[in-house]
Amino acid sequence: MNVGELRSQIKGLLVTELNLKGRDPATIEDDAPLFGAGLGLDSLDALQLAMTIEEKLGVRIPEGDEARAIFKSVRAIADHVAKVRSA
């Protein structure tokens, strides 16, 4: 799976797993912030997203400041997943 496909898969997971009703995964920008002004996710969403990524994509998300950087955007998550998978 290339990185573009991975980003699309992550967008789909965001919409389905976090119940972002009425949101089309294709409208989520790769570099848009996931928290605050972006998608408006909160800390509970972050926990659920981390568990989903670990379950569906097989990649562990670290805790703390490292996780904040990974959850910055869809692109950051995809880059982390690709990096871990290639290691």
- Nearest of 63, 51, 61, 64 to residue 83 by alpha carbon: 61
Burial bucket for residue 28 (CB in 10 Å: 0-12, 13-18, 19+): buried
Per-residue model confidence as pLDDT tens for the chain (87 residues)? 799 999 999 999 999 999 988 899 999 999 999 998 889 999 999 999 999 999 999 999 998 899 999 999 999 999 999 999 998
Sequence ranges of the domains in the chain: 3-86
Does this model's pTM top 0.75? My answer is yes
Cβ partners under 8 Å of residue 14, min gap 6: 20, 25, 28, 34, 39, 49, 74
CATH 1.10.1200.10 fits 3-86, yes or no: yes
